[in-house]
Every structure is written in C-alpha cells, then in structure tokens.
Amino acid sequence: MYEVMRPARGFRPEERRTFRTATGLLRWALREQVFRHSVGGVPYPTRFDDVHLGYRDHDGGYDYHLIDTFTPWKITGDHLAVMRRVQRRYGEIVHHLREVDPQWEPDTSVSPTGKISFADNSVEFHEVSRYGAKRRRMLVAPSGDACL
C-alpha cells in the first residue's frame, strides 16, 4: 500500500490517497500533474515511458527537482523509487512490443537493402514488420551544401 498526503491549508482539510499498486500511484501522479508539467515552456509528457523520474544522487537519496513546487502533495523518495521501478518494467514491455515482437526486416520493395540515399547526404532505412506495418528511420541526417 502506498499513501500520499496533502496537508491542510486554509479551509481545505488534510487529504490522503492510498494506492494498492505502484502502477496506480504512477498513473495518479501523471494525471494530477505532480511532476513538473512544463520544461522551458514545452508541455511535459504524460506517458509512462516519457516521464523522467530522476536518478539517485551520490548520497543515495533522490533528486527532488522533478516534483512540481506548486503541488501540495507530499511525494517521498520511496514513492519515486517505486514509480521508477514500474516505469522501467513498462519500458521493457513497450520496447518488446514495438521493436522485438514485430520482427522488423528491410523493405525490399523500396530497394534491395531497404536503404535510400538522397542528394542531401541523408540515408533513410525502410522496414516492414511481419504484420505488414511499414516504418522509415533516418540513419544519416541531411547535411552538406544541398541543405542550404
């Protein structure tokens, strides 16, 4: 069980939330925007695999700069550690579903190797999955005089 608390302030009474699973805790934290929701004016991502939950510092503690200073909820280092563990497992599952399971192979309908070289020195790699889905990846970004 994981419990977070919002202390009483003014006319607002103290509020506690209890979660049975770490996944529920992380889902709630993203929905309530407990983490900083803008970095340099850009909205902070709200998907499990996109949110940066920080690292351990040299003293074994956690960096708390990720917690929004305007949120009244008290999130501890233990909460962050549990959410980080859930996020790491979720990332492994997503990676397997996106990269490993589809068994991506070069798309030979585009070229024999699946690579296309353009005049701006960029190289694109076309792939097709065993399910028939297609994707393109940029191997070399555009550069050189042709870009100007």
In contact, 2 and 22? CB cutoff 8 Å: yes
pLDDT by residue (tens digit) across 121-132? 889 999 999 999
The mean of the pLDDT values for the chain is 76
Is the pLDDT assigned to residue 138 strictly greater than 60? Answer: yes
Judge whether residue 56 has pLDDT over 60: no
Q: For the segment 59-89, what is each residue's pLDDT rounded down to a tens digit?
A: 555 444 455 555 567 777 777 778 888 888 8
Each residue's pLDDT tens digit, 7-48: 777 777 888 888 888 888 877 777 776 665 545 555 555 566
And the tokens for 142? Answer: 């555009």
Predicted confidence at residue 65, as pLDDT, reads 47
Which of the pair, 55 or 112, is modelled with greater confidence? 112
